[in-house]
A and B are shown apart, each in its own frame.
Chain A
Amino acid sequence: MSTHSNGMPVLPKEAYTSQEWFDREQAEIFSKTWSLAGFQEDITEPGQYISVQAGLNNIFIVMGRDHRLRAFHNICRHRGTQLLRAEGKTQKAITCPYHDWTYDLKGNLISVPEQEKEFPGIDLSCNGLKKASVDIWRGMLWVHPDENAPSIINWFGEVEPYLAPYDPAGLIETEEGYSKHEIKANWKIIVENYIDGYHLSHLHSHTLNMYDHSKIECEFIGPHFAFWEPLADFYAAEVEKVTPMPLIPGIPKDKMGAWVPMLFPGIGLGESENSWSTFHITPIAPDRSMVEIRTRVANESTWAFTKAAMASASLWDKHLGAKFNAGPKVDPMSSGDFMQEDIYACEQQQKSLQSPFFEHGPSSKHGEKPVRDHQRVVAEWVERKP
């Protein structure tokens, strides 16, 4: 694949720019792994459904009357029309908009208009919806295109001990913590930015300084990247008093900090002492990706949030700020928002990849080791022989 020696990037430039690479990743990575489909609370009632794109597959999840979820490929068995869009609630059946073939919530084909005349002798039971797999893990919904997918515990079990010691299902989602960003960069550039420990105390010198970047513990566990860093000393000293939001219960004092894993492929989590979020990267084109962020916080009263924010305000004014002191409108680097800082860095990097003068520079020994490791994981998956 690459002749780069140790300390140099593993993937070639084309991996970030060519349609061919993009297609291979869609087929070999995003269509063969567990995909994040949402939060557990997105489907709560029998008949309720959501549909998601997982690589090349469009899959919908619907809850049955037994309150168990079922996942099916969102493809009519007649001529393939997509059956359900986005999200919603159906009664007892799913009818294809094209010729009204109808399926029950168990995926069985139950009626075909003008069956006798148009399809004499058809065996309805051979034309049920194709099944996919669905499960819930850490309060999130996951789908896999294969009906007999390896269990989700098989896929995530080994990285579990490296995640926050609380159950995210017990937290509640906040509207303020939701955002969606279309970023003009290849999905791997965004992953690499997320797992690059080298940039934390530089790019984010004024935004993420509540954590102690000198004590990072991180490594790849199989295809997944695990990351933890403790609170910075000034913050740890009185975290109960100065946390800007109520603390999430269940974290031992000596483990207080941030768990920021990047699950394969492209599913980042940000699990901290006071908030929990998903950072879900979906590739759209070789040079474009969508990032959707959803956030949960401790299940506490509005009053508890107001109180924490007020009590901690003066401390955070002192410690947080922007890297350069121009107005945020002029320069993203002065927005004081680490997300803006990252997006800017990713998009600029993607732009440069188009230049004939672009050449990969050396990769740092420690801080950027995860970047090379992730490239190795990607290379391994796209080269996999069936």
Chain B
Amino acid sequence: MRNIVYSLRVSEIITETKHAKTIRFDVPAELKEEFFWKPGQHITIELDVNGERVRRPFTISATPSHGNALQITVKSNPDGIVSKFLCTKVKVGHQLNVMPPFGGFTLEPLKDRQRTLYFFAGGSGITPAVAMIEAALEREPRSKLFLLYANRTADDIIFKEQLELLAERFPSQLEVRHILSKPSLWSMFSPWKSGRITKDVALEYLSECRPVAQDTQYFICGPGTMNADVREALRNCDVPTDRIHAESFGGNLDMPKDVASVPALLKLDYYGEAIELEVAKGQSIMNAVRAAGLEPPYSCQSGICGTCRAQIKSGAVNMKARMALEDSEVAKGAILTCQSYAKTAELSISFK
């Protein structure tokens, strides 16, 4: 994927909760194809913050069908420059720099299948889940969907009404349950449970929400540590690993602070162009490439989105984080350049 940024007009802004907004974009006819997405994919927003270019991925929070606008739903995060800007500064009519949809955490509806699809979403992690749920309800009529949605309080539930409407429209197909970690005593809303998704909660959930279709798939879309927790809980209930799909969203990720590295000579195959450059000790491959004046694609810069992916041809790197890659892809030489540091003094890497 080349690194192309388009300027799109903000067409609508919807307030979802106190801290979350949905931003819709106009996509001109000639870009429709470029901006076609799969449920679960994200777009990258690029901002200029005090002369520095900052990019962040945001999941598209709608399903790609008839007439649905391209939209993201953003929860303002106190330390997130981009999310704060999007939630407070952006107005209808503004132009924003956007990179086309991307990402491998997707659900492709299978029309002539019956499946049981479990979604475990936390906070703003509902964004890919809701896009996938809508798509499956529309195009996988025999499948049953279970959503377990974790939030702090009832007021933090994004898409609360939309989910209720969906459950009403598809009563035999969708079942939504809520779990709140800090339910307010005064709230009228009573969740299925309070607390967190532990092994016992997962066991209870799976025994109450039993699969009819035996092709079960489990999607985890949580912020921070929720993914690891739910994955662990599911594994403890003997859910096979190859049925669990996860993507991390926002929040703090436990990442090693530093990885070992050496200064290296990097031979680059940059979309067919041969370039040689130097990588300093402690410098990521991504930063070295950008320092050389090139424009490689990137977005989250934290190993989640996979936008900066490249292929290693010789030599080796150490990767800090690599959530966006499957083990099998790593075995075949895929790397995330934003997370990679030289391990050998000579390296060759190709961008395609």
What is the interface of chain A, defined by CB distance below 8 A to chain B?
40, 64-69, 105-106, 134-137, 151-154, 157, 169
- Please, how many angstroms separate the alpha-carbon atoms of A136 and B213 in the complex? 6
B residues in contact with A137, CB < 8 Å: 114
Q: Which of B230-255 contact A (CB under 8 A)?
A: 234, 237-240
User: Which of B112, B212, B215, B238 is within 8 Å of A66, CB to CB?
Assistant: B238
| B216: Cβ under 8 A from any A Cβ | yes
B residues in contact with A105, CB < 8 Å: 238
A residues in contact with B240, CB < 8 Å: 106
- Please, how many angstroms separate the alpha-carbon atoms of A340 and B171 in the complex? 43
A67, B212: Cβ atoms closer than 8 Å: no
- Please, how many angstroms separate the alpha-carbon atoms of A105 and B240 in the complex? 12
A135, B114: Cβ atoms closer than 8 Å: yes
A66, B239: Cβ atoms closer than 8 Å: yes
Interface size on B, residues (CB 8 A): 19
User: Which of A67, A151, A169 is within 8 Å of B211, CB to CB?
Assistant: A67
20 contacts between A and B (CB under 8 A): A40-B212, A64-B238, A65-B203, A65-B238, A66-B206, A66-B216, A66-B234, A66-B237, A66-B238, A66-B239, A67-B210, A68-B211, A68-B214, A136-B212, A136-B214, A151-B112, A151-B114, A152-B114, A153-B114, A154-B112
- Please, how many angstroms separate the alpha-carbon atoms of A157 and B216 in the complex? 19
Q: What 1/0 mask marks residues of chain B from 183 to 226 whose CB sits below 8 Å from any chain A CB?
A: 00000000000000000000100110011111110000000000
- Please, how many angstroms separate the alpha-carbon atoms of A151 and B207 in the complex? 24
B237, A65: Cβ atoms closer than 8 Å: yes
A106, B214: Cβ atoms closer than 8 Å: no
- Please, how many angstroms separate the alpha-carbon atoms of A136 and B239 in the complex? 18
Q: What 1/0 mask marks residues of chain B from 136 to 177 whose CB sits below 8 Å from any chain A CB?
A: 000000100000000000000000000000000000000000
Of A40, A66, A152, A154, most buried by chain B (CB within 10 Å of CB) is: A66
A residues in contact with B206, CB < 8 Å: 66-67
B238, A135: Cβ atoms closer than 8 Å: no
B residues in contact with A152, CB < 8 Å: 114
- Chain B's closest residue to A167 (CB) is B172
A residues in contact with B2, CB < 8 Å: none
- Please, how many angstroms separate the alpha-carbon atoms of A99 and B214 in the complex? 32
| B113: Cβ under 8 A from any A Cβ | yes
B114, A169: Cβ atoms closer than 8 Å: no
A residues in contact with B234, CB < 8 Å: 66
B residues in contact with A134, CB < 8 Å: 214
User: Which of B112, B210, B212, B216 is within 8 Å of A153, CB to CB?
Assistant: B112
- Chain B's closest residue to A133 (CB) is B214
Question: With A68-B211, A136-B212 given, is the CB distance from A157 to B112 under 8 Å?
Answer: yes
- Please, how many angstroms separate the alpha-carbon atoms of A134 and B212 in the complex? 11
B residues in contact with A65, CB < 8 Å: 203, 237-238
B residues in contact with A135, CB < 8 Å: 114, 213-215
B residues in contact with A169, CB < 8 Å: 212
- Please, how many angstroms separate the alpha-carbon atoms of A99 and B272 in the complex? 62
- Chain A's closest residue to B234 (CB) is A66
- Please, how many angstroms separate the alpha-carbon atoms of A68 and B239 in the complex? 8
- Please, how many angstroms separate the alpha-carbon atoms of A134 and B214 in the complex? 7
- Please, how many angstroms separate the alpha-carbon atoms of A151 and B239 in the complex? 21
Of A68, A154, A157, most buried by chain B (CB within 10 Å of CB) is: A68
- Please, how many angstroms separate the alpha-carbon atoms of A105 and B114 in the complex? 24
* Closest-CB distance, A139 to chain B (whole angstroms): 9
The 5 lowest CB-CB distance pairs between A and B, nearest first, are A65-B238, A66-B239, A66-B237, A135-B214, A67-B210
Q: Which of B99-139 contact A (CB under 8 A)?
A: 112-114
- Please, how many angstroms separate the alpha-carbon atoms of A146 and B216 in the complex? 18
B residues in contact with A106, CB < 8 Å: 238, 240
- Chain A's closest residue to B218 (CB) is A66
- Please, how many angstroms separate the alpha-carbon atoms of A139 and B206 in the complex? 19
* Closest-CB distance, A156 to chain B (whole angstroms): 10
- Please, how many angstroms separate the alpha-carbon atoms of A269 and B321 in the complex? 55
A residues in contact with B112, CB < 8 Å: 151, 153-154, 157
B residues in contact with A154, CB < 8 Å: 112
* Closest-CB distance, B237 to chain A (whole angstroms): 5
* Closest-CB distance, B146 to chain A (whole angstroms): 12
B residues in contact with A157, CB < 8 Å: 112
- Please, how many angstroms separate the alpha-carbon atoms of A152 and B113 in the complex? 8
- Please, how many angstroms separate the alpha-carbon atoms of A136 and B210 in the complex? 12
A residues in contact with B142, CB < 8 Å: 153
Q: Which of B80-94 contact A (CB under 8 A)?
A: none
- Chain B's closest residue to A44 (CB) is B210
- Chain B's closest residue to A106 (CB) is B238
User: Given contacts A137-B114, A151-B114, could you give 19 more A-B pairs where the C-beta distance is less than 8 Å?
Assistant: A40-B212, A65-B203, A66-B206, A66-B234, A66-B238, A67-B206, A67-B207, A68-B214, A69-B214, A106-B240, A136-B212, A136-B213, A151-B112, A151-B113, A151-B215, A152-B114, A153-B113, A153-B142, A157-B112
* Closest-CB distance, A37 to chain B (whole angstroms): 12
* Closest-CB distance, B201 to chain A (whole angstroms): 14
* Closest-CB distance, A108 to chain B (whole angstroms): 11
A residues in contact with B237, CB < 8 Å: 65-66
* Closest-CB distance, B244 to chain A (whole angstroms): 11
B residues in contact with A66, CB < 8 Å: 206, 216, 234, 237-239
Of B203, B210, B214, B216, most buried by chain A (CB within 10 Å of CB) is: B214
* Closest-CB distance, B108 to chain A (whole angstroms): 15
A residues in contact with B212, CB < 8 Å: 40, 136, 169
* Closest-CB distance, A160 to chain B (whole angstroms): 9
- Please, how many angstroms separate the alpha-carbon atoms of A152 and B115 in the complex? 11
- Please, how many angstroms separate the alpha-carbon atoms of A7 and B81 in the complex? 80
- Please, how many angstroms separate the alpha-carbon atoms of A340 and B240 in the complex? 49
A residues in contact with B239, CB < 8 Å: 66, 68
* Closest-CB distance, A83 to chain B (whole angstroms): 19
* Closest-CB distance, B218 to chain A (whole angstroms): 9
- Please, how many angstroms separate the alpha-carbon atoms of A68 and B203 in the complex? 12
- Chain B's closest residue to A160 (CB) is B142
- Chain A's closest residue to B111 (CB) is A153
* Closest-CB distance, B252 to chain A (whole angstroms): 29
B residues in contact with A40, CB < 8 Å: 212
A residues in contact with B214, CB < 8 Å: 68-69, 134-136
- Chain B's closest residue to A157 (CB) is B112
- Please, how many angstroms separate the alpha-carbon atoms of A69 and B238 in the complex? 12
A residues in contact with B203, CB < 8 Å: 65
- Chain A's closest residue to B207 (CB) is A67
* Closest-CB distance, A104 to chain B (whole angstroms): 9
- Chain A's closest residue to B116 (CB) is A68
Q: What 1/0 mask marks residues of chain B from 281 to 295 whose CB sits below 8 Å from any chain A CB?
A: 000000000000000
